[in-house]
Structure 1
Amino acid sequence: MWGYAEATRFFIVPDVLVGWIALHGPRVGFASAFAATAGAVLGGAAVHRDAAAQQAHLTEIPGISDAMLDDAAERFALESWGAVMRAPLDGIPYKIYAARSALDGRPLQELVLWTPPARLWRFLLVALGAGAFGMIFARTIRRREGHFLFGYAAVWAITYVRYYAGLRRRYGAITGSGTGRG
């Protein structure tokens, strides 16, 4: 469900939940990575089918600006699906490329084929890292689950503060107010 939500409108990545689940067991963490990917495929397909309307509202989502949309369009024009594969490294949300692929006339089948490798590598990496950490510190996590939850939330809060600061440096003020500009 989270994979679908983030592929459409939600702005917090499924990695947050995938990592927390993986802390409690790598096997269920990997399963959640695959579930998040399946949700991303479905969400991406929904965005692709209604791309013009979705594109018009993307700047209402926190962190997405007109400058980011322009950057993603240029990257997709130059690198095609390679831009989607490296989108997590570039900090460009998948939902932008789901809309862009339709606007550029790419068939839905291409998006459906490219989404799993583009999304799954990062989800599996998070599940692997969190799962390994969880195995090493399993007893401590069980005894102090509340402390670990607080620490985990703090790590993600810091991650998002840094992410949005980077977006501000790259694209200018970002408000998510619906204007696309801060």
Structure 2
Amino acid sequence: MTKNAATGSLSAVRSHTEGDTRPERRVAGGAEEAAGRRDRPAFRLLVAAWLRRRFWRTVLFLTGGLTVKGKLPKGGCVVVANHSSHADTAVLLAALSVARAPRVAAAADYWFLKRARRLVCSVLAAAFPVRRHGGGYSDLQDIAGPMLRAGHAVVVFPEGTRGEGRVGPFRRGAVDLAVSHGVPVVPVALSGTAELLPKRGRLRPHAVRVRIGQPLTDPDADTARTAVLELLAERRPRDSRVRHRIARLAVSWKGLGLVAAWSFTEALSWPLLPELALAVLCVAAPRAGLRLTLSAAVASVAGGLVALGLYSGASVDLPQPLTTTRMHTTAQKEIRLEGARAVRHQPASGIPYKVYAAEAGRAGVPAGEWVLRSTAARGQRIVGGGLVLTLIGVLTQRWRRFFPQYLVLVGVAFIALFALVISSWR
């Protein structure tokens, strides 16, 4: 969310020579400023911070979840974090304490150049402008200094740009700012944001973790970077090898073909519902859930159309295991009364789609009308179910290590469902 969030501007700190603005000459004054700081930001700013936190937490809940470990100290502080995604600012605003009303340094020449972008950045990202090409450290002192004295947490990304898979060198501007105002430097590690919103990529569901470290006792750029790296190295949530392998299948063309073939043959003879395949693949890899679901729905309707043609005016009798005579009789009566519209009963009746397709073919239902009606019926069931399963996959990413147990649960549930449906139609 904060493109090259304005710590890039902090490169100017390497050569700043502004006499009294240097932290070495302001440390003594920093104690006086610290003594005069207010404990909490203004009430209206706390309300705005609360609203931002609620908003971003809701977004992150829907895109995979957020886990936070640690908390900020009391009073103003400078937060230094690794930077790998535009989502970093949103994640920090969702994770950091409302009592510190976090503010974020952002590149003045990018985020504050145009009015619309400036408005969005200020309202949703709590950002303030810092120049990247000369004067950046002065901007930090002039703008962030009063914020620190008022008890805000000021977020700076010391790398100056989004990393390419690793944490780059930290520039010293953020640490100098903290030292000059007598406030602590707090290292924060962000995990999962590069997967959530990759550089030059699109948003895709992924769990995010935030680890807030202890304030640094003797801060400098190198120790701040080392502290962030140590936080990143903490053990990540365990995953399941089974889930990982199934997820690789789900995002591949083989997975798409498997779902399509499964759904197509289920409309002809295969006894296992397409939803069973989706319950495995969509939860394992929710980012592939939409295309898998649409593939299943289209292939199922295509299979139903083929079944309609095979049973029209021909003595075809494909194997249809796990169906009963009463299912066929009921579907036959409904089609005789309603024609192709009878397939609307299928999602709730428990009668397999292949039974309706076979009886519609024997009754001579027109192909065009059948495709139209069955698309609505199958779309309602398969697409709706697939999207729910995808959402489950998104919301349960932090518990992926239990995926094998989930597969057992799904298997037992489907067996029980089949037994209940078949027994009710005997």
Q: TM-score scaled by structure 2? A: 0.36
Is 1:125 aligned to residue 384 of structure 2? yes
Please show how residues 115-154 of structure 1 align to structure 2 within 5 Å. 115-141=374-400, 144=401, 147-154=402-409
**Counterpart position of 1:168:** 423
Task: Indicate the percent of aligned positions where both proteins have the same amino acid.
Answer: 26
Tell me the amino acid that sits aligned with residue 335 of structure 2: F
Tell me the amino acid that sits aligned with residue 418 of structure 2: Y
**Counterpart position of 2:296:** 36
Give the 4+ runs in structure 1 shifted more than 6 A.
none
| Contact 1:63/1:164 (8 A) holds in 2 | no
Higher Cα radius of gyration = 2
- Equivalent position to 1:11, from 255, 261, 271: 271
Q: For residues 72-113 of structure 1, give each alpha carbon's deviation from its aligned partner in whole angstroms, at most 9, with x where no partner exists.
A: 111222343343122121011111111211211111122222
**Structure 2 unaligned regions, length at least 5:** 1-260
**Structure 1 unaligned regions, length at least 5:** 172-182
Distance 2:282 2:334 in 1: 33
CA drift of 1:25 comes to 4.7
Distance 1:154 1:62 in 2: 23
| Greater helix proportion | 1
CA drift of 1:26 comes to 4.3
Distance 1:149 1:125 in 2: 24
Q: For residues 131-164 of structure 1, give each alpha carbon's deviation from its aligned partner in whole angstroms, at most 9, with x where no partner exists.
A: 22222111221xx1xx324423432432332332
Q: For residues 31-84 of structure 1, give each alpha carbon's deviation from its aligned partner in whole angstroms, at most 9, with x where no partner exists.
A: 111111221122112211110444x34xx4222122211111112223433431
Distance 2:343 2:362 in 1: 15
Please show how residues 60-139 of structure 1 align to structure 2 within 5 Å. 60-139=319-398
Choose between structure 1 and 2 for higher RCO, CA contacts under 8 A separated by at least 6 residues: 1
Distance 2:365 2:338 in 1: 14
Q: How many residues align?
A: 164
SS at match of 1:105: coil
Distance 1:105 1:128 in 2: 34
| Greater strand proportion | 2
Distance 2:354 2:384 in 1: 20
SS at match of 1:3: helix
Tell me the amino acid that sits aligned with residue 110 of structure 1: E
| Contact 2:335/2:363 (8 A) holds in 1 | no
Q: CA RMSD in A?
A: 2.0
Q: Sort the Cα spacing of 1:122 and 1:169 in 2 relative to 1 into closer, same or farther, 3 A.
A: closer
| Contact 1:26/1:127 (8 A) holds in 2 | no
Is 1:49 aligned to residue 309 of structure 2? yes
Q: Sort the Cα spacing of 1:32 and 1:67 in 2 relative to 1 into closer, same or farther, 3 A.
A: same
Tell me the amino acid that sits aligned with residue 396 of structure 2: F
Q: Sort the Cα spacing of 1:49 and 1:74 in 2 relative to 1 into closer, same or farther, 3 A.
A: same
Distance 2:383 2:412 in 1: 21
